[in-house]
Structure 1
Amino acid sequence: MYPFLDEESITDNLDCLYTTQKAGSMQMPPLEEVEASLSPFQSVQTFLVLALGARILESRLSVEFSSERYLATAMQRIGTLALHDSIEGLQIMLLLTISSFYFEEGPNAWFLVMNIIASCLDLGFQRRGVNVHHPSTVSKPINIHSRLNLRRGIFWSAYSLERTLSVVLGRPLTLRDEAIDIEFPGYTARQGDPAGQGASVGSSALTPESARSPHHSTKRARVMINPYAASQYSFKFDQITAEIKLMIYRVVNLPNRFPWPTDLASWQPDVRKRCDALLEALRAEFRRGLRRSTSDGMVQSLELKYHHCIMLLYRPSPAITRPSFESWKICYESAVATILINSELHRFSKLSNSWLTAHTVFVSGITFLYCLWVVPKIKQDTTLVFFKSNAEACINLLKYLAKTWSVAADAVGKFERLVHLTSESWKSGANRPPSAEFVAGQSLLSMAQGQEADSNEPAAAPVTDQGLYTMEEPTIGMGGEFEADSFFNELGDMSSWFDLNWLLDASAGFGSADDGATVTF
């Protein structure tokens, strides 16, 4: 998903280390031998790769592989390196960023990504046609095709990480897509290709440079898909994420200074069609080109990116504070799908044990609970049994992640109590007034604000013609009385860990676009 390393170079570095040992020994050679065999940049890269690999194995096998020792060894050697002006330095910073997702005491990911983006801009990595002969710290020459792909891979990996963190942390985008015309890694120009459109995805052909790689035999090349296909699809979803952020998640709208399209009614379904087309294409590509067991992990990871885009597109936003019922339903379905995909990955020991995963799982769980409370009509398409099954899948994931991440450890107890509250309310089956649904939504908003609602303040008044669940058909209440502060009291202030500010976007009026109200932009 992040093709910023040259696989052949990393393999050569590891071979250089282990071939110096006695036959049959897989022990890491002494540090003095490592430093004698590899350059400072190569040794740091190697230790970071080993740290990440060991960390993943530790999570999957519950066996100690000294991942923290490898990371500490790399960190001790970084201080003397100039990381900002070379491909190898940027590769190290990207490895550090990914390490921060997997190690509790890892470096600050946002700070690193901002520095990587700045360095890429200094080196012109975002533009095609800029001189690619940047200073190299490695004595072994790399052919022009491989170096060009490294340059592309470094930039687009940084772009992807920045887009991901901007959503997770609620930060603004740092670089607009209009300033980028560099192609995706693995891209080869084809006659008629428009300029500045990145790479074409969905092609099973190997690129010329990858076809010449010693890792790809002629026989294998005939059946193997483009080795950059997964990252290309991933970057396409990242571009859609950026478009959604710029269109409907702006803090201030300045139409007189920066004209923006205002036809959200046609734009929103168009974005979904593009997401659906990418999803359909990647499923066909991977399941045609690789064995099922090999491709499933890639497909599931990309499916998670798809649902990430869909939830971002349809949940409440500054531009669309009152989504339609159909939007709420789509958001609910993607939240549940995200939990079930992660549950399937966990079942086969493929789940990424990172704080990003903990964030994704918890926010998806809160999202589908939120949708059920504020749009009870959704319950007509599901049952309490399925609700409990989905909630249990989310709880099990949080419990697994809680072994490593304190954020998940704190969240699991809160989420369990919320699920119990929701389940008991559902089972009561009493017909309760519509105002109770608004109160439930208001309590979730209080949670996002990180402060307790004033108990002396009157609850939201019932709305007859406007509301999140004002539909032609009668709605089904959750049942039973619901205390205004129940959700808030259970969750407390999660604002330092999770960006739940999107819940605040519904506070402009618990309404639905179905009620005929005008959506402001």
Structure 2
Amino acid sequence: MSNAASPTNAARAKSSCSRCHRRKKRCDRELPACKNCRSARVKCSLIDDNSQTASYSVAYVRGLERRLEELRSNLVPEPQMSPPVDDCLIDTGNDHTYSDSAVADIMDPNPTCEGQVPEVFLGLPPPKDLPVEPRLQESEVHIEPLAQEPSPTFDQELKSVSFSVAAERHLGSTSGLSFAKLTQMVLRRLTPDRADFVFDNPQRGFSSDQLFDFDSSLDFFNSHVFETLSESIPSHPTLFGDILLADTIEPTDAVSGLSLPTNEVYSKRLVDFYFAHSHTLYPILVKSDFMQTLQQVRDNPLDPAAQCPLALFRVWMVFAIGSTAYSSVTLMEESESRIYYSKALEYFERAMALGEMAALEVIMLQISYSFFNQLGPNTWFLVGMAARLAVGIGLHIESTYAGWPVNIQQHRKRIFFSIYMMDRVVSLALGRPFALHDDDIDVSPFTDASEDDIHAGGIRSQSSLTPSIISVPLHILALRTIAGKIAKQVYSNRRALSLTVEEREEILHSLHKELIDWRRNMPFPLPDISDRVPHFSTNWYDFNYYTHVAMLYRPSPLFPVVDERKIKILEEASSMSLRQAFNMHQQQRLAYNWLNLLALFTSTLSLIYAITVQPTDLATALKETRAIDDLDLSIELFDTLGIKFLAAKKIRGMFAEVSRRYKDLRTSL
């Protein structure tokens, strides 16, 4: 990426352009036109807005100063050299700002150097052959040329992927950010002089049109990204002929006039996959009611019931979610799902106006879609809106349900606990506080019963030999509850420093036992509905079990210093999680979405850390374990993820570099 295009070096307007403001999109304010408008190939209002006051980054001002010195050197035989610029802070004598007439306004009044090693790391004390890095003297500081792109690090890449979900800059402890920095540090053991481990620039051979802009706080999934994504995935014939992908970004006559697909076999496949996949994760809808509505829309579109905005929004969102979920497993091109989503948005405002429960359903269907495709508002804000709306209605209190028919009670409990599970998934991935707290919830979970057995007056008894399909989301709810306990007791325990070692060990032991019991008590037999649904395979439960065990035993605020026993458990758990994911990959059951991208990234970091930090001879440890083989499995997984997420290619290159160093060490014995 050239300096001219770099987000840190660009001129920026003081306010957003009118298009981004109208669409409630994050605008980068880059002059002369913002990135969203450039990507959509439309004229940006910033071009004609002469009232805008520009601000310029420190790097941009430095570049101008450096260019000015170059011009002076061509005119003056012996130019007067400028004093060196401190790479961490520029002091202009004017509160770190330039006046507008002087061209620049430094955005960060207290900038810090990228790549600085934090003073304190969590984890096992480094082996004896890993010395502490000496502090450089001022005369030894080398300032890289502005055009040279810095070497990527694990924590930078974790930020890149996480911020694609929510552009805000905070990542908490459960996100694994501190652990990524720690893993980056222990890799010094692989360098001859114990210096920082530097990766080869993985951008070589990459298109400049990356899926993620690694330095930007923008919405990463913009229209230009969709065009790049469509080119990177094998094309699949659409149902709508010549409708362009750009038509899915802004409302057009082509999308507005869209009717339901005439191919009933194909549309049935989408509906069936939604109810097999997404509905068994988050049972938001009543399937019988939905199928009746779909039939009404097909048979008599002029019927008042078929023209209800909520019903139409629901139909198009089921098509959109079913399509994008299926594409996440098969890696098919996703323009169809985005067209369905754009069509659903035509009914969004009218559906939201139909009452609180209608608004809640609308938001939750958007969340379900955003787990696979980041078109529209980001997942973090949507989950927060749904959680607060549910609490406002009182769905977290048992007394709210008194007097309601049993079928209404069960449906609304399923809605509430679906929000609960969504909140746990997103908050843990980003390391942010939960929107729903267990101490505030006194409502019991929904009952393990199929919809056909639930009526207004009660629930028919169930056969103990054949669990209902609703047993799957109930069991997943139990896992999300345990994950919430891990976050609270291991990563956010304010009493951690006052606890004895025995008390801390008891916390780990208790949570590990809960995970073991959860794995042993999984639904059996699993529903045999679709061979592409990940959570209808035992490998999915094994994968989640081992990723949560790894989360439990990696360095954390509860155990900032981990012993060899925990390191061994972490190594085994991370290896097993990668093997289970690879098994699903071979079975074509793995969903290639951003949640699994983050999970696999963290699992691979856990494996690298657990192997590299062992106090024994590293070459011997590599020869006695399957670490290299498991790391190569991860590399293959990220190869496949790279079809959908170009960021995965960059991460894959970093892991391949570690694997190469490991293999060199192993053969040195």
> Does the CA contact (< 8 Å) of 1:97 and 1:113 recur in 2?
yes
CA distance in 2, matches of 1:69, 1:316: 44
* 2:542 aligned residue (299, 303, 306): 303
Question: Equivalent residue for 1:233?
Answer: 475
1:92 CA displacement: 1.9
* 2:444 aligned residue (165, 168, 183): 183
Deviations 1:73-112 (A, max 9, x none): 1123313443795333212211211211211434211101
* 1:122 aligned residue (387, 392, 398): 392
* 2:608 aligned residue (356, 364, 369): 369
> Does the CA contact (< 8 Å) of 2:316 and 2:343 recur in 1?
yes
Larger radius of gyration: 2
* 2:295 aligned residue (9, 15, 35): 15
CA distance in 2, matches of 1:118, 1:384: 51
Matched, 1:166 2:427: yes
Question: Equivalent residue for 1:44?
Answer: 313
TM-score normalised by L of structure 1: 0.65
CA 1:167–1:260 in structure 2 vs 1: closer, same or farther (change >3 Å)? farther
CA 1:348–1:170 in structure 2 vs 1: closer, same or farther (change >3 Å)? same
> Does the CA contact (< 8 Å) of 1:125 and 1:152 recur in 2?
yes
1:176 CA displacement: 2.3
* 1:417 aligned residue (646, 651, 657): 657
Matched, 1:398 2:398: no
Q: Any idea what SS the aligned residue of 2:492 has?
A: coil
1:240 CA displacement: 1.3
Q: Any idea what SS the aligned residue of 2:570 has?
A: helix
1:59 CA displacement: 4.1
CA distance in 2, matches of 1:341, 1:158: 27
CA distance in 1, matches of 2:659, 2:592: 23
> Does the CA contact (< 8 Å) of 2:489 and 2:507 recur in 1?
no
1:10-409 equivalences in 2 (<5 Å): 10-19=290-299, 37-61=306-330, 63=332, 66-82=336-352, 85-131=355-401, 144-186=405-447, 206=449, 210-211=452-453, 224-250=466-492, 253=495, 263-282=503-522, 285-287=523-525, 297-375=536-614, 383=623, 386-409=626-649
Deviations 1:279-305 (A, max 9, x none): 1111xx413886996997253333333
Q: Which structure exhibits the higher relative contact order, with contacts defined as CA atoms closer than 8 Å and separated by 6 or more residues?
A: 2
Deviations 1:486-506 (A, max 9, x none): xxxxxxxxxxxxxxxxxxxxx
CA distance in 2, matches of 1:406, 1:323: 35
What is the alpha-carbon root mean square deviation over aligned residues?
A: 3.5
Deviations 1:299-349 (A, max 9, x none): 333333322321221111112101222222222222122222222222222
Q: Any idea what SS the aligned residue of 2:283 has?
A: coil
CA 1:71–1:6 in structure 2 vs 1: closer, same or farther (change >3 Å)? same
CA distance in 2, matches of 1:112, 1:260: 40
Equivalent AA in structure 1 for residue 544 of structure 2: K
Deviations 1:135-176 (A, max 9, x none): xxxxxxxx9233212211111111111111122111122332
Deviations 1:209-261 (A, max 9, x none): 64258xxxx9x9675313321112211111111112111212855999xx999
- Work out the number of aligned pairs and report it: 382
Equivalent AA in structure 2 for residue 426 of structure 1: R
> Does the CA contact (< 8 Å) of 2:574 and 2:607 recur in 1?
yes
> Does the CA contact (< 8 Å) of 1:234 and 1:302 recur in 2?
no
1:123 CA displacement: 0.8
> Does the CA contact (< 8 Å) of 2:611 and 2:622 recur in 1?
no
> Does the CA contact (< 8 Å) of 1:297 and 1:350 recur in 2?
no
> Does the CA contact (< 8 Å) of 1:127 and 1:180 recur in 2?
yes
CA distance in 1, matches of 2:420, 2:607: 29
CA 1:239–1:85 in structure 2 vs 1: closer, same or farther (change >3 Å)? farther
Question: Equivalent residue for 2:62?
Answer: none
> Does the CA contact (< 8 Å) of 1:55 and 1:67 recur in 2?
yes
CA distance in 2, matches of 1:144, 1:261: 50
> Does the CA contact (< 8 Å) of 1:84 and 1:119 recur in 2?
no
Equivalent AA in structure 2 for residue 420 of structure 1: R
- Point out where structure 2 has 5 or more consecutive residues left out of the alignment: 1-280
Equivalent AA in structure 1 for residue 595 of structure 2: L
Equivalent AA in structure 2 for residue 91 of structure 1: E
- Point out where structure 1 has 5 or more consecutive residues left out of the alignment: 21-31, 134-142, 188-205, 430-521
Q: Any idea what SS the aligned residue of 1:263 has?
A: helix
CA distance in 2, matches of 1:35, 1:380: 73
> Does the CA contact (< 8 Å) of 2:320 and 2:338 recur in 1?
yes
Equivalent AA in structure 1 for residue 557 of structure 2: P
CA distance in 2, matches of 1:126, 1:36: 31
CA distance in 1, matches of 2:636, 2:292: 40
Equivalent AA in structure 2 for residue 314 of structure 1: Y
CA distance in 1, matches of 2:653, 2:579: 20
CA distance in 2, matches of 1:84, 1:376: 63
Deviations 1:359-393 (A, max 9, x none): 11111111101110012659878747833331222
> Does the CA contact (< 8 Å) of 1:307 and 1:337 recur in 2?
yes
Q: Any idea what SS the aligned residue of 1:79 has?
A: helix
1:268 CA displacement: 1.2
CA distance in 2, matches of 1:109, 1:158: 12
Equivalent AA in structure 1 for residue 490 of structure 2: I
CA 1:10–1:428 in structure 2 vs 1: closer, same or farther (change >3 Å)? farther
CA distance in 2, matches of 1:385, 1:33: 66
> Does the CA contact (< 8 Å) of 1:353 and 1:401 recur in 2?
yes
CA 1:298–1:7 in structure 2 vs 1: closer, same or farther (change >3 Å)? farther
CA distance in 2, matches of 1:425, 1:83: 64
CA distance in 1, matches of 2:603, 2:516: 20
CA 1:173–1:380 in structure 2 vs 1: closer, same or farther (change >3 Å)? farther
> Does the CA contact (< 8 Å) of 1:83 and 1:90 recur in 2?
no
TM-score normalised by L of structure 2: 0.52
Deviations 1:378-435 (A, max 9, x none): 9878747833331222112212122222332321222222222222223323xxxxxx
- Percentage of pairs with the same residue: 19
> Does the CA contact (< 8 Å) of 2:310 and 2:350 recur in 1?
no
Q: Any idea what SS the aligned residue of 2:562 has?
A: coil
Deviations 1:262-293 (A, max 9, x none): 811222112111211111111xx413886996
CA distance in 1, matches of 2:547, 2:629: 21
> Does the CA contact (< 8 Å) of 1:149 and 1:185 recur in 2?
yes
Equivalent AA in structure 1 for residue 419 of structure 2: A
CA 1:50–1:360 in structure 2 vs 1: closer, same or farther (change >3 Å)? same
Q: Any idea what SS the aligned residue of 2:644 has?
A: coil
Matched, 1:6 2:286: yes
CA distance in 2, matches of 1:288, 1:67: 28
CA distance in 1, matches of 2:648, 2:303: 38
